[in-house]
Amino acid sequence: MAKYKIAEIPGDGIGPDVMAAAVKVLETLEETRDLSFEFNRLVVGDELKERTGVALPPGTIDEIRKSDVALFAAVGDTAREVLLPIRQQLDLYVNLRPAKVYPNVPHLKEDVDIVMVRENTEGIYKMIGDRGDGWGINVRVITAKASERIARYAFEYAVKYDRKLVTSVHKSNVLNYSCGVFQEACQRVAEEYPGVEFNEVLVDACAMRLILRPEAFDVIVTTNLFGDILSDEAAGLVGGLGMTPSGNIGDDHAMFEPIHGTAPRLAGTGRANPMATILSAGMMLDWLGEKDSAAVVEKAVIDVLKEAKTLTPDLGGSAKTMDVASAVCEKL
Ligand code: IPM
Ligand code: MG
């Protein structure tokens, strides 16, 4: 039987609520499939910082390294102090963010099925800069190495999941130095994949086209900050952050997380939608190589949505977080 050690990182706000829902789904899978999980709970975030002065204890990254994979829920004000070191020190260079329309989820646009492949280790997120009296600088670092490997991931993803088009999104008309490196790296990699269509869009035009013609996009590959912004936009198109999972993926390690934050007003009320975290757990299973179980989790989510009996308030229902988890478990 396959046995996986999972670093479980609930964080703050609604984090523990949605994490409990996802863990329940994984525990139910243990009963129904040939799988077993050992959860290693790691405490990070705002509340920890208030108590101890640190948001990310020094041993955390090693604990993740020792696990097969990590599942993360949400942290608030300390997100930068927690997420960025994990992403950068574990070299989780892909931030994979699918955005698609699920049944009975109120959405702005039909036919959206976009996969955002966001570079996750450099760009403006390098946190290089300075602040003086009346001025501030953030340095944007773009390397050919990181750009090429993210482009290659996007094309490999397209091949593996039978996607037709990869769109490189940048702003090389203005950010000529840094985006120039990214743009050329994508062009070089595209030549290795003649079977996948390739085009380029400037980020401002992309932001508009996502609203007007989202069906024109398939796989988007872009730099860190552009991917941060565009993935929230894409999430908005398909019904908001309650439904959008993500994966931080490297060659050796990975951490999956819902895109949403801590939603402090909902914390502990049982009103948080756990679907994004459950879908993130599904992506995690896919990454672990448990393709069937991953598909089963997504199908269970879709079945619950189709039935529309057990939905949280953001989806127009009155069910509680754990009711949704139970409904998904029943479908497993
Ligand atoms: C995200 C978040 C983070 C980011 C913040 C909280 C550090 O917005 O995961 O998209 O900017 O990457
Ligand atoms: Mg973001």
Q: Is 83 in the pocket of ligand 1 (CB under 6 A)?
A: yes
Q: Is 204 a catalytic residue?
A: yes
Q: Which CATH number is associated with domain 1-93+239-332?
A: 3.40.718.10
Low-confidence ranges of the chain (pLDDT < 70): none
How far apart, in Å, are the Cα atoms of 281 and each of 4, 28, 105, 247, 255?
Answer: 13, 13, 20, 9, 10
Q: Is 241 in the pocket of ligand 1 (CB under 6 A)?
A: no
Q: Which CATH number fits domain 107-237: 3.30.565.10, 3.40.718.10, 3.90.1150.10, 3.30.1950.10?
A: 3.40.718.10
The segment(s) of the chain belonging to CATH 3.40.718.10 are 1-93+239-332, 107-237
pLDDT for the residue numbered 240? 81
pLDDT for the residue numbered 225? 98
Q: How far is the CA of 195 from the centre of ligand 2 (A)?
A: 32
Atom of ligand 1 nearest to the CA of 83: 7
Atom of ligand 1 nearest to the CA of 257: 9
Would you state the structure tokens that stand for residue 320, as one six-digit string? 């509680």
Three-state SS at 169: strand
Closest CA to 9 of 32, 43, 35, 37: 43
Q: Of 77, 91, 232, 303, which is the active-site residue?
A: 232
- The environment of the single-atom ion ligand 2, i.e. residues with CB closer than 5 A, is 228
Contact partners, residue 142, CB within 8 Å, separation at least 6: 122, 123, 178, 179, 181, 182, 223
DSSP state of 174: T
Q: Is 3 a catalytic residue?
A: no
Three-state SS at 28: helix
Q: Give the number of the ligand closest to the Cα of residue 224.
A: 1
Nearest CA to ligand 1 atom 6: 79
In this prediction the pTM is 0.97
Q: Of 4, 125, 153, 157, which is the active-site residue?
A: 125
Would you state the structure tokens that stand for residue 102, as one six-digit string? 């699920």
pLDDT for the residue numbered 183? 98
Q: Give the number of the ligand closest to the Cα of residue 88.
A: 1
Q: Of 46, 228, 314, 323, which is the active-site residue?
A: 228
pLDDT for the residue numbered 109? 87
Q: Is 228 a catalytic residue?
A: yes
Q: Is 62 a catalytic residue?
A: no
Q: Is 80 in the pocket of ligand 1 (CB under 6 A)?
A: yes
Q: Is 9 in the pocket of ligand 1 (CB under 6 A)?
A: no
Q: What is the DSSP string of 55-119?
A: SS-TTHHHHHHHSSEEEEEE-STTHHHHHHHHHHHTT--EEEEEEEPPTT---S-SS-EEEEEEE
Q: Is 225 in the pocket of ligand 1 (CB under 6 A)?
A: no
Three-state SS at 193: coil
Q: Is 228 in the pocket of ligand 1 (CB under 6 A)?
A: yes
Q: Give the number of the ligand closest to the Cα of residue 77.
A: 1
pLDDT for the residue numbered 111? 85
